[in-house]
Chain A
Amino acid sequence: MQKLLGKRIIIAKPGLDGHDAGAKIIALTLRDAGANVIYTGLRKTPEYIARVVIDEDADALGLSILSGSHNALVAATIDKLRKFGGEDIKVFVGGTIPAADHEALRQLGVVAIYTAEMKLDQVVASLEEHLG
């Protein structure tokens, strides 16, 4: 079951949304799958998150957003990541993300979008694929 052994993953909450159950479920699940997971806590700016990703030499970044502000916050975070030289870091998004916004997020470089109905096994398998 250690499908993500050795992978370094940051789970972050950008913006002001305080609903962190999903972020924590994913953090615990990825840790159980062998990954080295850091959860940032609430209300982190895109800049702060991008710095943590670089400082921790992470392979992937998961952004959890349920307030509807995903488009602006994901774009800003990816922008900062690129500025700091982290263009190869895989970014995935979770939360309440309308289907209509999925394509735009993928255009920004998001590799996967996970919603509450997805099974945790599927999330792990998907990340395993993306992280190789």
Chain B
Amino acid sequence: MSEQDPLSKGAEARQPPLPRPETPSGIRLPEFITRDGAEVPGQFPFTRGIFKNGYRGRLWTFRQYSGFGSAEETNERYKFLLANGSSGLSVALDLPTQCGYDPDDVMAMGEVGKVGVSLFSLAEAETVFSGLDLAKISTSFTINGTAAIIYAMYVAVADKTGVPRSALTGTVQNDILKEYVARGTWIFPVRPSMRLVADTILFSNDNTPRFNPISIAGAHVRDAGATAVEEMGYTLANGLAYVDELLRHKGDANSFAQRLSFFFYVHMDFLEEIAKFRAGRRLWAKLLKERYSITDPKALMFRFGVVCGGSSLTGSQPYNNISRVALETMAAVLGGAQSIFTCAYDEAYQIPTEFSAEIALRTQQIVAYESGISKTVDPLGGSYLIEWLTDEMENEISKVMRQLDDYGGVERAIEDGYPQLRIAERALERKKKKDSGETVVVGENYFVNDNETGADYGEVFKSDPSAESRIRSRLVALREARDNARVVKSLDALEAAARTSGTNVMPLLIECCHAYATVGEMVARLKSCWGEFSEPIRL
């Protein structure tokens, strides 16, 4: 994503200079401060950051809200963003695409085109990216259960438009483990799902080396109820599970570990959030070095993006959320995030308006260009409290990881519903503490303005009631127009590969996409080989 501002137009869109490394009084700030023998930024174990010069050479990436709708509307929105200086796109997909159902499936009823665009076949993707040069844009897909298919589709769009695969940049979230724990768009059982993740990462390593094939996410687990310690603990444990799987597929850890990146929430406890990131960065580097003897420093670097806001925001007195997001953004910067998404103040109860989305971006810009906290690297490093809290967090995070190990590992724990149950209990605890007033939420359970009428839900989801039937008719037309013999042949080949361990299914999925097989058809074939995840329900 770009650091440019898609909301500004014309002359206002010019980029400000990076903050000067001095205070307003003229005191020069060194790159970083340390003392003899103490840790420095940019060196193992990276507690103080993965880069020696921190944000001095380059600020973090500013991610911005982007809308959704039909393939055509999405395409128009992207063209607008690109014309206004953005170089990165963020694609939200509807739930049927995320769960592997075609728009005419009974399971898709009422959900087609609702929370994102429907990409049921390559034809839709061609419309979404029509007129855009994939070599010049970075595209981030929030996709997990069908990540391998959507990634294959993106590669197929590149093939069809003459863009070399090696030029593709972007990200697929592709973190299936946390889907079982918190987000819920799982499809297959855990084992074959892990194979799919490994296939995408290894294929990407060889074919699209600038594309991020996974973003290991703690964010959803956190927003669902987990503490900061559990968020980091579950996420690092999932990260190690992916490393183990890749090694089973004979991947080279020094190479593929460079492709792993992470994604977290920042909520309100300022110091704990900062310590969480410092502790996570150090622990990840240590674990990779100790367990797998990884030597390449780049492979040990813990790169992460964050979302500020989420369930820390309130529906009551929503303008207070602007202050919350500003504090959270500062915690993310002091924790050393590589990219930041700031929630709009009204996100707790509606789709952000252009006005609220602009304030969210401006909040980041104020932290970046006015607060001065990015002028020197890890400015809190060496603070008695922060260093102590970082150590404490590391210990507690390790304990959470040990509990999962004792359970028999992440996969076993998920199949048994253990982390799912822990998170539900935490969510209840969090809610009870708010209800009782033990947790203070300004404007919600204390300092309540009695004159406030309460937030009304505005436009919760942009949706056009006729979208579902229009998308369905396009599916019908596609089935008529395509070469159905080629579709069947490609699906047969996919199924054969899925039944054979040791064959990477990515080339087969790409051929299915080229043949205009639908997401639902590909998923159905894979289900016939692998079955479906059976959700453990423990309460």
- Give the interface of A toward B (CB within 8 A): 15-21, 24-25, 27-29, 31, 37, 39-43, 45, 67-69, 71-73, 76, 96-100, 115-117, 119-121
Contacts and interface: CB of A to CB of B under 8 A. Distances in A.
A17 B110 contact: no
B110 A41 contact: no
Interface in B230-268: none
Contact of A15 (B95, B459, B537): B95
Contact of B444 (A20, A41, A69, A117): A117
A16 B460 contact: no
Contact of A16 (B107, B315, B457): B107
A67 B463 CA distance: 11
Contacts of B196: none
B535 interface: yes
A79 B458 CA distance: 28
B457 A15 contact: no
Contacts of B95: 15-17, 67
8 contacts: A18-B183, A28-B425, A43-B107, A67-B95, A68-B114, A76-B110, A98-B460, A99-B457
Contacts of A40: 537
A18 B184 contact: yes
B424 A68 contact: no
B470 interface: no
**What 4 pairs across the A-B complex have the smallest Cβ distances?**
A18-B184, A68-B461, A72-B110, A98-B457
Contacts of B456: 98-99
A76 B99 CA distance: 21
Given A31-B539, A69-B111, A72-B110, A17 B184 contact: yes
Contacts of A24: 424, 427-428, 539
B512 to A, nearest CB: 22
B114 A69 contact: yes
B463 A28 contact: no
Given A69-B111, A72-B109, A116-B315, A121 B435 contact: yes
B482 interface: no
B106 A45 contact: yes
Interface in B428-459: 428, 431-432, 435, 444, 454, 456-459
State the main secondary structure of chain A at its contact with B: loop
A34 B162 CA distance: 64
Contacts of B110: 15, 69, 71-73, 76
B316 interface: yes
Contacts of A100: 457
B509 interface: no
Contacts of A29: 428
Contacts of A41: 535, 537
Contacts of A39: 537, 539
B430 to A, nearest CB: 9
Given A21-B423, A25-B431, A42 B535 contact: yes
A98 B457 CA distance: 5
Contacts of A15: 95, 109-111
A115 B314 CA distance: 12
Nearest to B96: A16
Given A16-B101, A67-B115, A96-B457, A21 B427 contact: yes
A96 to B, nearest CB: 5
Interface string B90-119: 000001101101000011111100110000
A96 B456 CA distance: 11
A71 B463 CA distance: 13
B184 A20 contact: yes
B185 A18 contact: yes
B1 interface: no
Contacts of A25: 424, 427-428, 431
Nearest to B456: A99
B150 to A, nearest CB: 16
B492 interface: no
Contacts of B109: 15, 72-73, 76
A22 to B, nearest CB: 8
Contacts of A121: 435
B224 interface: yes
A73 B3 CA distance: 41
Given A21-B423, A27-B539, A28-B428, A119 B115 contact: no
Nearest to A17: B95
A115 B460 CA distance: 13
B381 interface: no
Contacts of B108: 16
B209 to A, nearest CB: 32
B115 A68 contact: yes
A16 B98 contact: yes
Contacts of B457: 96-100
Interface string B500-539: 0000000000000000000000000000000000010101
Nearest to B349: A96
Interface string B406-438: 000000000000000001110110011001000
A69 B109 CA distance: 9
B460 A28 contact: no
Contact of A19 (B99, B224, B428, B459): B224
